[in-house]
Structure formats: structure tokens, C-alpha cells
């Protein structure tokens, strides 16, 4: 049986032979064989464990909705929110600044005014492509 380990760049290129799947919680050999190419070790947590832990935290996948909104958005819709003083203070301010800083910004609006597109823009603006949405397994 073989195990692949993951390099820093994400590629699978080092193969080790082993007999026991010591780090995995899954002791069923048949099931292990099926998933063996996914077994990458990060310290004591394997990729199998990692996927299982993420699924345990929640079965929901907001990135699907995020991508759908991104595909339908029109450039610059809601850009005025990103330019607003309220947004800049919310994004860049800190609790030490003064008493007027609030960690929450709530935007209310009637149906169809583009609230979801604004959320999309703000996610991008706060995290860009480094957003965890883009990296989620």
C-alpha cells in the first residue's frame, strides 16, 4: 500500500510505503484503499481527517452561492457603499480609535436593490482572492 504526501505547493509527489494507517481514525482497510490518494499528513491530522473535520463543523457550502452571485454581478453595482465613510470606518477602524467605531455594519434595503452583490463586493474587498472562500476544501 502506498501513501502520498503533499508538498508545500500542493502537489502530490512523494510516495512512502506503509502497512498501517496509524494516523487515520478510519481503520477499515477497504475504505482506506478507496481514499488512499487523499491521505496527506499535516502533523498528526491527515487530509482524510481534515475533510471529515470540516464536514463535521458544517455541511453547508456558502461558496456555491458566492460563486453564483459572482457570475451574475454587474461591475460597479453598489460601488458607492465601498466608497462610503461608514464602510471605510468599519473596515479600517479599530476599537482604540474613538468611541464612534462600531465592529458591526448593517445595511438594510428593499428587495432587489442589490444587497447580495454588495456582500460579494465586500468579501472581495476585505479578503480579495486570498479569501478563505477561495481556499476552502
Partner 1 sequence: MCAEAVEGDPIVACFYFDFAARNEQSPVNMLGSLLRQVVSGEGEIPEAIDGDFRKEKRVIGGKGLQVSGILKMFQTITATRRTFICVDALDECVPESRMVVLESLGQILQGSPNTRLFMTGRPHVRSEVEKELGGAATFLFIRATGDGVLRFLREKLRKDTAPTRMSITLERDIMKNIPAISSETYVRARPSGAPP
Alpha-carbon span 42 to 5, nearest angstrom: 9
Alpha-carbon span 111 to 108, nearest angstrom: 10
CB of 45 to partner 1, least distance (A): 5
Binding residues (CB under 8 A) for partner 1: these are 25, 42-45, 49-50, 52-54, 56-62, 65-66, 69, 74-78, 80-84, 86-92, 95, 102-116, 118-119, 122-123, 125-128, 130-133, 135-137
- Considering the complex, state which of residue 16 and residue 72 has its C-beta at the smaller distance from partner 1: 72
| φ, ψ of residue 46 in degrees (nearest 5) | -85, 165
Alpha-carbon span 11 to 8, nearest angstrom: 7
Can you read off the three cell numbers belonging to residue 39?
491521505
CB of 13 to partner 1, least distance (A): 19
- Considering the complex, state which of residue 15 and residue 74 has its C-beta at the smaller distance from partner 1: 74
Radius of gyration over every alpha carbon of the chain, rounded to an integer in angstroms: 22
CB of 118 to partner 1, least distance (A): 7
Amino acid at each position: 500500500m502506498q501513501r502520498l504526501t503533499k508538498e508545500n505547493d500542493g502537489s502530490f509527489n512523494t510516495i512512502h510505503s506503509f502497512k498501517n494507517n496509524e494516523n487515520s481514525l478510519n481503520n477499515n482497510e477497504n475504505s482506506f484503499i478507496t481514499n488512499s490518494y487523499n491521505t496527506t499528513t499535516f502533523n498528526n491530522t491527515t487530509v482524510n481527517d481534515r475533510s471529515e473535520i470540516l464536514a463535521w463543523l458544517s455541511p453547508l457550502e456558502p461558496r456555491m452561492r458566492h460563486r453564483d452571485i459572482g457570475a451574475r454581478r454587474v461591475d460597479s453595482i453598489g460601488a458607492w457603499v465601498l466608497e462610503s465613510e461608514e464602510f471605510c470606518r468599519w473596515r479600517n477602524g479599530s476599537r482604540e480609535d474613538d468611541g464612534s467605531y462600531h465592529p458591526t455594519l448593517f445595511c438594510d434595503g428593499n428587495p432587489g436593490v442589490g444587497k447580495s452583490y454588495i456582500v460579494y463586493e465586500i468579501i472581495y474587498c476585505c479578503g480579495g482572492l486570498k479569501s478563505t472562500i477561495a481556499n476552502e476544501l
